[in-house]
Structure 1
Amino acid sequence: MDRINRAAKWVFGFGAGLSMALVFLIIFVNSLRRYTVGRSVAWGEELPIYLTIYGVMFGLALAYLNDQHIRFTVITDMLPERVRNALFGLADVVTIAAGAALAYAGHVFATRRGNVDSSGLKATADGLAASTGLDWLVWLGKVGPWQYAVAFGGAILAVAAALRLVQRLSSRQEI
């Protein structure tokens, strides 16, 4: 189980870090172009927004798996350890359900509005598809893959909460 948790932490951390690095790189390059050439790239304004959402979702799952998320502990700190652990286990179960519900809602939202063109990405995606001959790249110019960040975030939150629950239950048995 430790190997699975380490792998999940690595994936979540890598995803969050890569997303934020790409956001920085795109904004940096776009700023340089704007002030040197006088023109920024069309997708340089919109893509960082979507990448930030994916990065936040990865970070959210990592924080939950590390049990380092925001929590108000004024009352829980006064509870006996056994009651507190049971309460946190219940919170894990609720988070699994909330993550699954968020994944479902994100999926429904993305499928209903997924074919809407993304104004800043459409021309670039069409150009990529035309130059490579890969027609499926047109999909990157739609809002669907970017709106799936909510569904993806819900799914990985549910996974993180499930792993945390298993870890919490296994450490309770060792006591």
Structure 2
Amino acid sequence: MKTVNEFARRLFALGAGLSMALVFAIIFVNSLRRYTVGQSVSWGEELPIYLTIYGVMFGLALAYLQDRHIRFTVLTDFLSVSVREKLFAAVDLVSFATGVALAFSGHAFAVRRGNLDASGLKSAGNWLAETTGIDSLVWVAKVGTWQYAIAIGGALLAVAAALKFFERISAIKAVQA
């Protein structure tokens, strides 16, 4: 179980870090172009917004798995350690259900609006499709591709909550034994 949790932590950290690095790189290049050449790339304004959403979703899962998320403990600090851990395990189950619901609703939302063009990315998607000859690369220019971050974030939350739940249950059983 420890190996699975460590793999998930690394995967979530990679996703969050890569998203943020790409956001920085795109904004940096776009700024350099704007102040040196006098014009920025057309997709340089919109793509960082979408990448940030993906980064937040990966970061959310990482924070949950590491138990470093925001938690109000005013009342739970008065509970015994045993009761508190059981309560947190119950919260993990609720978070799992919330992640599944978020994934489902994010999927429905992205599918419903998936064919709309993302205005700032339309030229980039068309350019990719024309340059490579792969017509399916036009997905880069569709809003649904980027709105799917909600569905992926929900799935990541569900996975993180399930892994955290099993980690807590194992710790509770180890203490009781």
Structure-1-length-normalised TM-score: 0.99
Q: Once the 2 structures are TM-superposed, how far is the Cα of residue 94 of structure 1 from its aligned partner?
A: 0.2
Are 2:88 and 1:55 equivalent residues in the alignment? Answer: no
Could you say which residue in structure 2 is the equivalent of 1:140? 140
Are 2:30 and 1:30 equivalent residues in the alignment? Answer: yes
CA distance in 2, matches of 1:158, 1:6: 16
Aligned ranges 1:59-78 → 2 under 5 Å = 59-78=59-78
CA distance in 2, matches of 1:32, 1:135: 31
Could you say which residue in structure 2 is the equivalent of 1:128? 128
CA distance in 1, matches of 2:16, 2:139: 23
Aligned ranges 1:142-161 → 2 under 5 Å = 142-161=142-161
Could you say which residue in structure 1 is the equivalent of 2:43? 43
Give CA deviations for 1:100-142 in whole Å, capped at 9, x if unaligned: 0000000000000000000010111111101101111011100
Q: Once the 2 structures are TM-superposed, how far is the Cα of residue 83 of structure 1 from its aligned partner?
A: 1.1
Could you say which residue in structure 1 is the equivalent of 2:13? 13
Provide the identity percentage.
65
CA distance in 1, matches of 2:126, 2:110: 20
Give CA deviations for 1:46-74 in whole Å, capped at 9, x if unaligned: 00000000000000000000011000011
CA distance in 1, matches of 2:101, 2:138: 29
CA distance in 1, matches of 2:86, 2:25: 44
Give me the CA root mean square deviation.
0.5
Structure 1, unmatched stretches of 5+, are none
Amino acid at match of 1:64: Y
CA distance in 2, matches of 1:127, 1:23: 21
Amino acid at match of 2:122: K
Structure 2, unmatched stretches of 5+, are none
Give CA deviations for 1:12-44 in whole Å, capped at 9, x if unaligned: 001000000000000000000000000000000
SS of alignment partner, residue 67 of structure 1: coil
SS of alignment partner, residue 173 of structure 1: helix
The aligned length equals: 175
Q: Once the 2 structures are TM-superposed, how far is the Cα of residue 82 of structure 1 from its aligned partner?
A: 1.4
